[in-house]
Amino acid sequence: MTLMAAIQMASGPQVQANLMEAGRLIKEAAERSAKLVVLPETFAMMGANEADRVAIAETFGEGPIQAFISQQAKKHGVWIVAGTIPIRSDDPGRAYAASILYNDKGEAVARYDKIHLFDVLLSENQEVYTESDTTVPGHEAIVVDTPFGKLGMSVCYDLRFPELYRRLSARGAQILVIPSAFTELTGNAHWEALLRARAIENLCYVIAPGQGGYHVNGRTTYGHSMIIDYWGRIRGVQERGTGVVIAEIELAAQEQTRKTFPVLSHRCPESIQS
């Protein structure tokens, strides 16, 4: 059994303040014996607008945000999923939303660029989001071998696209990480239902840290960071405020369930007629 941590934050516009808070919560998770720590989407900055995020974009492998997370991983001897970090692209007006996995030596061992971008109008409150204006989408599903099992990477709005998680589980994913910044409105409606569905249909653990609070851009994020097991049971939740959710990952129990309830091997997409 291994302990995993989902960190909930309410990030603001000051990068250094956000990193200090992230460091405090990583330390708490490590002191509680977590071996994998997952930060939320946009943990290093929630600016007044999306252009602020592009302004702090770093070259992959360089920059203060990446250096900070690398140092934290090495200092505390933990693996860290750095929610998302803005990484420069060839388009000066847009950056990748990169989720980067660091090992306990502080080395970046995997990078996932968010594929599905949040371009929506929420008619209930007239909030408009056009993430594609400032973000370059990724195109590759990522599964990583770790000491804790095979880790499938995703970010926030990806959660609404089950075909991505089918691909991850088909590649052997045992744990799905979903760092997020769900809106209050959509979180209330769908957050828990979608997380539990992704866990159940793929017989995977889900680690889903979120932003939770009011931000200077006028947005309120939902929080309710969760760790959910392969049977859809919520093993821990942080509803409001900053904090750390800790839960055990039991791969032997998961594997036994996959053998006795072999839903993953029963998939037959080739037999479904269009």
pLDDT in tens, 109-158: 999 999 999 999 887 777 789 999 999 999 999 999 999 999 999 999 99
The pLDDT value given to residue 274: 64
Q: Which of 183, 229, 226, 181 is nearest to 6 (CA)?
A: 226
The pLDDT value given to residue 231: 98
- The angle formed by the CA atoms of residues 68, 22 and 189, to the nearest 5 degrees, is 130
Catalytic residue among 35, 41, 50, 184: 41
The pLDDT value given to residue 217: 83
pLDDT in tens, 165-177: 999 999 999 999 9
Contact 111, 145 (CB under 8 A): no
Tell me the CA end-to-end span of the chain in Å, nearest whole number: 43
Q: What distance in Å separates the CA atoms of residue 188 and residue 82, rounded to the nearest whole number?
A: 25
Rg (CA), the chain: 18
The pLDDT value given to residue 50: 84
Residue type, 198: R
| 60: CB partners within 8 A, 6+ apart | 66, 87, 88, 98, 111
Q: Which domains does the chain have, with CATH numbers?
A: 2-271 (3.60.110.10)
pLDDT means per 10 residues, the chain with 274 residues, are: 95 97 98 98 92 95 98 98 98 97 98 96 81 97 97 98 97 98 96 98 98 90 98 97 97 98 89 70
Contact 80, 26 (CB under 8 A): yes
Q: How far is CA 266 from the centre of its chain?
A: 28
Q: For this structure, is 35 an active site residue?
A: no
Contact 231, 204 (CB under 8 A): no
Residue type, 224: H
Q: Which of 236, 223, 171, 167 is nearest to 198 (CA)?
A: 167
Q: What distance in Å separates the CA atoms of residue 34 and residue 257, rounded to the nearest whole number?
A: 24
Q: For this structure, is 156 an active site residue?
A: yes
Catalytic residue among 35, 50, 58, 114: 114
Contact 210, 180 (CB under 8 A): yes
Contact 45, 74 (CB under 8 A): no
Catalytic residue among 50, 58, 156, 184: 156
Task: Return the exposure string of 2-13: e unless at least 16 CB atoms fall within 10 Å of the residue's CB, then b.
Answer: bbbbbbbbbbbb
Burial class for 104, CB neighbours closer than 10 Å (0-12, 13-18, 19+): middle
Residue with tokens 């968010």: 114
SS3 213: strand
Contact 153, 81 (CB under 8 A): yes
Q: What distance in Å separates the CA atoms of residue 108 and residue 266, rounded to the nearest whole number?
A: 35
The pLDDT value given to residue 219: 87
Q: How far lies 119's CA from each of 92, 147, 157, in Å?
A: 20, 36, 10
